[in-house]
Amino acid sequence: MKPQFVTLEGVEGAGKSTQKSALCHWLRARGVPFIETREPGGTPLAEAIRGLLLHTDEDPPTALTELLLMFAARAQHLETRIQTALAAGTWVICDRFTDATFAYQGGGRGCPWAWIETLESLVQGTVRPDTTIIFDVPVDVGLSRAAARSEADRIEREDAVFFERVREAYLRRAEADPERFIVVDGTPPETQVTEHLLATLATRWAL
């Protein structure tokens, strides 16, 4: 099997980071070489852009600026880290990628999907994740988990209606491409979610 580019997605508090750790532990135990990364971020420059995106309250970016900064960070991350790893035969496990842009800047902020598709082609060419796992939880469940964990950043302070649009956009993308997407119910206890996820992936990858 060629090295896989795997992305994890979901609304706030859906359990991506928790399940990413479980997935990485499972891959390590099977001797699969991989890197773990995230967006926005994943390289020093892209992490600096992440800081601008999530912690600039004085002069908050407009929707278009936010969209362009997401893709600026992605261009750097993709060329200098993701593609390098895949070319070396290393799997990439990435917490969020372009589906988050469709969900947050498209669904949440209302940026036209055509703009996002144009930037996706420009920045990524034909590169797309091989597998995208969406952890799906009702917005109120995710928000209360996230609130219990840490102080909200600029995007996390959006209201529930925004996150309903984000969730709906994620599910719409999954429905349009059932080959690439796996939608996992993120509501049960962590261990049950992990069990279900790993059983699905073991079959998908024959691992």
- If binding is defined by CB under 6 A, does position 16 make contact with ligand Z5A? yes
Pairing verdict, β 131-136 and 5-9: parallel
Q: In the set 4, 37, 76, 101, which binds ligand Z5A (CB under 6 A)?
A: 101
Return the half-sphere exposure (C-beta side, CA atoms, 13 A cut-off) of residue 186.
28
Identify which range of 57-65, 77-85, 97-105, 110-118 contacts ligand Z5A by CB under 6 A. Answer: 97-105
Q: Quick one: 17 or 200, whose CB is closer to ligand Z5A? A: 17
Contact 185, 193 (CB under 8 A): yes
List CB contacts of 129: < 8 A, sequence separation 6 or more: 5, 6, 7, 94, 97, 99, 180
- If binding is defined by CB under 6 A, does position 145 make contact with ligand Z5A? yes
| Site for ligand Z5A, residues 49 to 88, rule: CB under 6 A | 70
- If binding is defined by CB under 6 A, does position 156 make contact with ligand Z5A? yes
- If binding is defined by CB under 6 A, does position 140 make contact with ligand Z5A? no
Q: Measure the CA–CA gap between 172 and 11, rounded to whole angstroms.
A: 14
Q: Measure the CA–CA gap between 186 and 112, rounded to whole angstroms.
A: 28
Least distance from ligand Z5A to the Cβ atom of residue 91, Å: 19
CA proximity to 50, closest of 162, 170, 155? 155
- If binding is defined by CB under 6 A, does position 133 make contact with ligand Z5A? no
Least distance from ligand Z5A to the Cβ atom of residue 33, Å: 24
Q: 196: burial class by Cβ within 10 Å (0-12, 13-18, 19+)?
A: middle
- If binding is defined by CB under 6 A, does position 18 make contact with ligand Z5A? yes
- If binding is defined by CB under 6 A, does position 175 make contact with ligand Z5A? no
Least distance from ligand Z5A to the Cβ atom of residue 1, Å: 26
Identify which range of 29-37, 56-64, 111-119, 183-191 contacts ligand Z5A by CB under 6 A. Answer: 183-191
- If binding is defined by CB under 6 A, does position 10 make contact with ligand Z5A? yes
Which amino acid belongs to residue 178? P
Contact 162, 169 (CB under 8 A): no
Q: In the set 7, 40, 119, 123, which binds ligand Z5A (CB under 6 A)?
A: 40
Q: Measure the CA–CA gap between 110 and 158, rounded to whole angstroms.
A: 14
* Chain residues that interact with ligand Z5A, rule: CB under 6 A: 10, 12-18, 38-40, 70, 95-96, 100-101, 104-105, 145-146, 149, 155-156, 186, 189-190, 193
